[in-house]
Chains A and B, each alone.
Chain A
């Protein structure tokens, strides 16, 4: 974990779980642009300011051209389910209260090697367990929605969840 810390830079926010107890991301200097984007309903991917290649998760150096000049670009929010799992207890609270629930791995349609872990839900207020896991299929088209979580200190984070595209 020490390595991860070194590559995360300073923390912008690491203020604990949501009011319900869900784990929330530690927002660091590398990823703050992403979490600012989700507040606005945008998916943003880190982009090398020198060679233009995208990379995710965000990190200090472009592995292609070694530039540390980094920006981001807004990308399309449509994707495809690449895989999914259905966790059962033992799990942490409050996840165990929702189990069995789904976790999906989504590839972005515009950038098929950029992938996100998330949950398939019916809408932006969705809960982890509201979609029947037996109905989920690899290859299903999905679209990002952004669910609001309130941290115990009152601050908010918006996490990308996924709904089916009809």
Chain B
């Protein structure tokens, strides 16, 4: 596989911003989006009128025309949206970087604004989801994303001898990092091993603490050329490599209909990502791995090559995912499990903070960070470096 031409380190994330994270925020998603985009521009030291590219999720409710009219953009010359919910986040930033690297735009903004904490749960909609593939799964009571991922989790445990102890390792590591982060929803809520083991079931073998939060919040970042980033307020965080992944015969969330359901989009995405990079998994100092559910971290650790297939459970042992202890601190702001669930965009901003040296669980001398989006759906990933 040949690397992407002219992309490596050609762009940088120059500004980031986020709203508070809460179960309920008063302002509308539109207002939150506008505020956070203006704040991200201010963080970079760039006027919103300079924005000429807008990238977001197909599930994003705030549209480009509204953003541009509200924050006072000039002429927008690149706009794109990426589908598949939590699989989109890194792709959105990646498209922003592609737009800048290829000369289609100069100041690209990526964002996500979502009131998932106070809004409806998407799985409660019954009208449109009984087509393919829902027609084959939902009538039998496989209703929610957690049920779908629990199905893969049980099989994973069966094949590789993983246990709830390993899922607890993931949940507790991420919670520990949230406890260090005043902006995290779970900042004041430590989680003991007993807390995890005694939590109520949601879909066996997954319990409450294997599930992400339900959050209102918004985040944004600003991507410019590496050259321009060097003249701005913060040290540049370079977009070293980017990839998306949609493997053969994949089915979103219910990836049960291919030859090997336990190798999902992460594997396809990783092959392209590492082909595009000048370094490999062993050179990654800190990782932000999409964690709508704890087992997605196990699958992603294997998919992105931090360990071999079936070894991710062992990889979580002895605090190996924890700041200050492990070889690969993961989700150092608390992730979707314990900081906020905003379709993974908070993982991107935390990756930037780690490479600026401003994380609340700062990995010393961190020079490289992997950020991933949802496993189990068509996905994406970013390799950031300072």
**Is B230 at the interface (CB under 8 A from chain A)?**
no
Known: A24-B130, A101-B141, A103-B140. A138 touches B154 (CB 8 A): yes
Residues of chain B within 8 A of A119, CB atoms compared: 140-141
The residue on A at minimum CB distance from B204 is A86
In the complex, the answer to whether B200 meets A92 with C-beta atoms within 8 Å is no
Q: Tell yes or no: B81 within 8 A of A by CB.
A: no
Q: Which A residues between 78 and 102 are near B, CB-CB below 8 angstroms?
A: 82-88, 91-92, 95, 98, 100-101
Q: Which of A31, A100, A118 contacts B140 (CB 8 A)?
A: A118
CB distance from A152 to the nearest CB of B (A): 13
* Alpha-carbon gap, A69 to B16, bound state (A): 52
Are A95 and B143 interface neighbours, CB within 8 A? yes
CB of B2 closer than 8 Å to a CB of A: no
Q: Is B158 an interface residue (CB 8 A)?
A: yes
Q: A116–B132 contact, CB under 8 A?
A: no
Residue from B132, B141, B251 in contact with A95 in the complex, judged by beta carbons closer than 8 Å: B141
A130 to B89, CA, bound (A): 42
Q: Contact mask B44-80 → A, CB, 8 Å, 1/0?
A: 0000000000000000000000000000000000000
**What 0/1 pattern do residues 105 to 139 of A give for CB contact below 8 A with B?**
10000000111111100000000100001000010
Complex CA–CA separation, A26 to B154 (angstroms):
28
The answer to whether A100 touches B137 (Cβ under 8 A) is no
- A24→B155 CA distance, assembly (Å): 26
Q: Are A100 and B201 in contact (CB under 8 A)?
A: yes
Q: A83-B152, A87-B203, A138-B158 are in contact. Are A105 and B143 (CB under 8 A)?
A: no
Q: Measured between alpha carbons, how far is A27 from B129 in the docked complex, in Å? A: 12
Contacts of B83 in A (CB 8 A): 3
**Do A87 and B131 form a contact, CB below 8 Å, given A23-B138, A92-B124, A117-B137?**
no
Q: Is B249 positioned at the interface, with any CB of A under 8 Å from its CB?
A: yes
Residues of chain A within 8 A (CB-CB) of B251 are 57
Q: A86-B203, A138-B158 are in contact. Are A63 and B139 (CB under 8 A)?
A: no
Q: Give the one of A17, A23, A117, A138 with max B CB within 10 A.
A: A117
Contact partners of B318 in chain A: CB under 8 A: none
Q: How far is the CA of A30 from the CA of B136 in the complex (A)?
A: 13
On whether the beta carbons of B201 and A88 are closer than 8 Å, the reply is: yes
Asked if A62 is an interface residue, CB under 8 A from chain B, the answer is no
Q: How many residues of B contact A (CB 8 A)?
A: 41
- Contact status B126-A117, CB under 8 Å: no
Determine if A88 and B203 form an interchain contact, defined as CB atoms under 8 angstroms apart.
yes
- The CA of A117 and the CA of B257, in the complex, are separated in Å by 10
A95 to B128 Cα, complex, angstroms: 18
Whether A88 lies near B140 (C-beta < 8 A) is: no
Given A88-B202, A103-B147, A113-B258, do A138 and B155 touch, yes or no (CB 8 Å)?
Answer: yes
For residue A149, give the distance in angstroms from its CB to the closest CB of chain B. 8
A interface, by DSSP: helix, strand, loop or mixed?
A: loop
Task: Mark B221-259 against chain A: 1 for CB-CB distance below 8 A, else 0.
Answer: 000000000000000000000000000110100101111
Q: Is the CB of A56 within 8 A of B204?
A: no
CB distance from A97 to the nearest CB of B (A): 11
Q: Which residue of B lies closest to A1 (CB)?
A: B128
- A residues near B154, Cβ cutoff 8 Å: 83-85, 138
| Contact (A128, B132) CB under 8 Å given A87-B147, A92-B124 | no
A41: CB under 8 A from chain B?
A: no
Chain B positions within 8 Å of A68 at CB level: none
Does B135 count as interface, using CB distance less than 8 angstroms?
A: yes
Q: Which of B124, B131, B256 is A4 in contact with, Cβ under 8 Å? A: B131
Inter-chain CA distance A84–B248, complex, in Å, is: 24
Q: Are A117 and B142 in contact (CB under 8 A)?
A: yes
Chain B residue with Cβ nearest A101: B141
B131 touches A83 (CB 8 A): no
A85-B139 in contact given A8-B132, A17-B126 (Cβ < 8 Å)? no
Q: Which residues of B have CB within 8 Å of A138?
A: 154-155, 158
Interface: B150 (CB within 8 A) = yes
Mask of B111-139 contacts with A, CB within 8 angstroms, 1/0: 00000000000001010111111111111
Asked if B356 is an interface residue, CB under 8 A from chain A, the answer is no
Any A CB within 8 A of the CB of B144 = yes
Residues of B within 8 A of A86 (CB): 201, 203-204
Cβ distance B365 to chain A, nearest Cβ, rounded Å: 42
Query: What would be 25 A-B contacts, judged by CB atoms less than 8 Å apart?
Result: A1-B129, A8-B132, A14-B130, A24-B139, A25-B136, A25-B139, A31-B135, A63-B249, A84-B151, A87-B142, A88-B202, A91-B141, A91-B143, A92-B124, A98-B141, A101-B141, A103-B151, A113-B257, A114-B257, A115-B257, A117-B136, A119-B140, A128-B141, A138-B155, A159-B140
Q: A4-B128, A87-B204, A113-B257 are in contact. List 8 more A-B contacts (CB 8 A).
A: A23-B143, A25-B130, A83-B155, A88-B203, A91-B141, A114-B257, A117-B136, A119-B141
Residues of A bordering B, CB below 8 Å: 1, 3-5, 7-8, 14, 17, 22-28, 30-31, 56-57, 59, 63, 82-88, 91-92, 95, 98, 100-101, 103, 105, 113-119, 128, 133, 138, 159
A-B interface, 5 closest residue pairs, ranked by CB to CB distance from nearest: A25-B135, A86-B204, A83-B155, A85-B150, A26-B130
